[in-house]
Amino acid sequence: PVVALCLVNVASAFNFQIHAHHIGLRKQSLQQLHASSAPDGVEDEARKLRELASQLRGEVDAFQKEKDEVTAAEQKTRDEIMAAKQETRMKYSTEVPILKGDGQTMMERVDFPPRIKDGKSSIMAVQADLPLGILLGEHEEIPGAISVDEVAAESNGERADVREGDILRACTACQQTMETPTWQLLAGGIGQPKTKRFMFATDGRPFEEVMDAVSSNRMDPEGRAVWLVLERPE
């Protein structure tokens, strides 16, 4: 009975596999029949849709490329404008010592708008020991401008590269003040003299005042070189 039961089970399993195989073959045949019976119009429509989609993608890519090119061109223009502005600023500015409110001196870049027209000049700063050996005068063509009329040979001014025709835009100047600590004020003291050095702008200043500013550098207790800001014609 056990052997008979096992044979029955094996036969049942074998019949099930054969049945499943037949079902799979029928399903595959139906799919092939359906595919072969599909109308040609559907395939043509699908092909047209794929072509249209490809065309649209191409147009989108072309539009994006054009947009990127425009953006890049605009950025390049902005960069060129900024570079030109920076070049102009560097041409008409220089670093000089600036006296701060707390008494300290810091090097800072200062702008000097050109007095010579058409961009045919540049700004520079030099340091020269006293005596400078230069002759200053009022500019013949630019009102309120001080020009270098002469530079003595082998002078400190010549060694500092000061040239005839330069326009003096600024220089260091010294001023003596009285500083009185609080405890001296309370005691009725008169304070102590102190010399401060600062940058003196010469534009529009009377000639005598400019000469006094240059000469005042002799008062510098440290004996430092004189700073001269010059506008040099090209």
Q: How far is CA 5 from CA 14, 97, 108, 133, in A?
A: 14, 113, 107, 131
Rounded to 5 degrees, what angle do the CA atoms 29, 34, 38 make?
150
Higher pLDDT, 100 or 33: 100
pLDDT at 114 over 70: yes
CA 223 – CA 130 distance, rounded (Å): 9
Q: What is the mean pLDDT of the chain?
A: 85
Both tokens assigned to 179: 């500083």
Look at the pTM and tell me if it is higher than 0.85: no
CA 69 – CA 66 distance, rounded (Å): 5
pLDDT given at position 206 = 97
Across 113-125, average pLDDT: 96
pLDDT given at position 11 = 44
Residues sharing a CB contact under 8 Å with residue 159, sequence separation 6 or more, in sequence order: 128
Cis, bond preceding 131 (omega within 30 deg of 0): yes
Rounded to 5 degrees, what angle do the CA atoms 56, 58, 64 make?
105
Please tell me the total number of residues recorded for the chain in this structure: 234
CA 88 – CA 113 distance, rounded (Å): 10
DSSP-H helix ranges across 117-187: 156-159, 182-186
